[in-house]
Amino acid sequence: KQEVTQIPAALSVPEGENLVLNCSFTDSAIYNLQWFRQDPGKGLTSLLLIQSSQREQTSGRLNASLDKSSGRSTLYIAASQPGDSATYLCAVSSYGGSQGNLIFGKGTKLSVKP
């Protein structure tokens, strides 16, 4: 059974710092891995999707890496801003699952202090 773990559960940093969020998964048989952002009381915004054949994806100040063999992914946020404060979720789409059957981690709650 696929399990997704995110560390740390919460993180507080001063504005301008570069930071790394970690995600690990137990079964490497995945189609893809996605990083989402969730603001309080809001839905999810997809940030990056990495297909199983890819090693990284970049969007603006965000860079996500994927090491499928070791079951790890990282989300790197450069030059953090207060507007980056949110909960970041990692989710994998596993073999045998449907398109919507994403296995989510519990998230990392990020707070960027001005």
Partner 1 sequence: GAVVSQHPSRVICKSGTSVKIECRSLDFQATTMFWYRQFPKQSLMLMATSNEGSKATYEQGVEKDKFLINHASLTLSTLTVTSAHPEDSSFYICSASTYQGTNSPLHFGNGTRLTVT
Note whether 49 binds partner 1 by CB under 8 A: yes
Note whether 43 binds partner 1 by CB under 8 A: yes
Q: Is the dihedral of CA 79, 14, 89, 41 positive or negative?
A: negative
Note whether 99 binds partner 1 by CB under 8 A: yes
Cα–Cα distance between 94 and 34 in angstroms, integer? Answer: 12
Note whether 61 binds partner 1 by CB under 8 A: no
Give Cβ neighbours of residue 29 (< 8 Å, ≥ 6 apart).
Answer: 94, 95, 96
Q: Site for partner 1 (CB under 8 A): which residue of 60, 83, 100, 114?
A: 100
At 63, list the tokens.
């860079």
Give the interface with partner 1 as residue ranges (CB under 8 A).
4, 31-32, 34, 36, 41-46, 49, 51, 89, 91, 93, 98-107
